Amino acid sequence: MRAVARCGLLAAPPYSQDETGLFRPYLSAAHKATLATVALWMQQAGMSVRQDAAGNIIGRYEGIRPNAPALLIGSHLDSVRNAGSYDGPLGVMLGLECVAYFAACEQRFPFALEVIGFGDEEGSRFPVSMLTSRAVAGLLPHAPQDMVDTQGVSLSQALEQFGLPLRNFVQAARPPQDIVAYLEAHIEQGPVLEAEGKAVGVVTGIAAQYRFLVRITGFAGHAGTMPMSMRQDALAAAAEAILIIEQTAQQGAQDLVATVGSLSVSPGAPNVVPGDVSFTLDVRAGTEAVRNAAVEQIRMALAALARRRAVTVDIVQQQDLASAPCDEALTQHLGDAVRQVTQEPARQLVSGAGHDAMVMAALAPMCMLFVRCEKGISHNPAEAVNSTDVETALQVMVRFIENYAGSFGTKTEQMAG
């Protein structure tokens, strides 16, 4: 299937910054090359194309009347390091295929169709994820001034090199009246659909997330002369802290997860007791109440650890994403489309992973379609999908758009009357 083949094409240079694996950070040369190719595909599908002030690529297929509000279909084009081919781009490619299908049929709707490829969902370059969907949703009243990547390059510098002035960043915001709904297709990133033998599933909501940077400060000293009883070993304290975090999540609600994904040790010499350690902490749950209770439990446990080990622990919040329920009416339309295509009731799931859809919910009603992925693997080169499943997803999306257009027309007539 073409959508699958295109995802595979985008997984290698020049669309990847790395030669041996996929890494496409926001505002990189690989990102720029990807935008150029996706723009060409959008044009071939029958869309006009533009790039917004945040570096998102947007294709538009007009509705029955010019300048109609749009049904926005999208996902992200950036990736984590050593990524798989489908997390993000598959949703964009499926949006392109939907438009190509309707353009070939010369079919238009009471709304325009727009396909958007977000520039930064993963947060793999700058410390905040979903940066560009936040801009589109109007959640950034001011341009971010102080963000820098791990190489010390500021967001302002990266944007300037991309030909996008930071002062214009907030102009990516879309007026709510311009968007009637948002639809995102995405690989499940979990094993449920595969275990149940289903090609697709309908998302009912996206879990709440917290992201923190935890810094533990002890005292660096000589590894051969500092007695064990006198050490203030920041790394040993961090190791215990990580186990506490793991145990908190294991003993919590079924939908609670906590992850330490990155750790930095200083001074990082084999003959020096570590004096300073920083690590990331990601906590997620289906509801804010469960997530917040777990974070408070972790805070209290790390405070006790700090007293016991004579170190200091600083916890700085970097991100707070509320849980995002999918729109009930859109979810019903999507479920109906699944049933019409597969002849089976739609499997409903909660997404533990974050998606641009949870941000876009602040702008417009949103819904999500999950596509089965092999063994639930994601953020890994082993990420894989079945072309037949992707074709099923496309048929579901096409049917969803047609069904939604029917209800949209009825609503319009009722409003006019």
Q: How many Å apart are CA 14 and CA 173, to the nearest integer?
A: 29
Q: Looking at the DSSP assignment, which residues form a beta bridge with residue 257?
A: 284
User: Is 122 marked within a binding site?
Assistant: yes
Pairing of strands 112-118, 70-76: parallel
Closest CA to 214 of 148, 313, 292: 313
User: Is 87 marked within a binding site?
Assistant: yes
User: Is 134 marked within a binding site?
Assistant: no
User: Is 142 marked within a binding site?
Assistant: no
User: Is 284 marked within a binding site?
Assistant: yes
User: Is 222 marked within a binding site?
Assistant: no
Closest CA to 125 of 36, 29, 215: 29
Q: How many Å apart are CA 93 and CA 78, to the nearest integer?
A: 14
Closest CA to 378 of 120, 95, 85: 85
Annotated binding site for Zn(2+): 76, 87, 122, 186, 379
Question: Annotated binding site for allantoate, which residues?
Answer: 211, 271, 284
Task: Mark the binding-site residues, compressed into ranges.
Answer: 76, 87, 122, 186, 211, 271, 284, 379
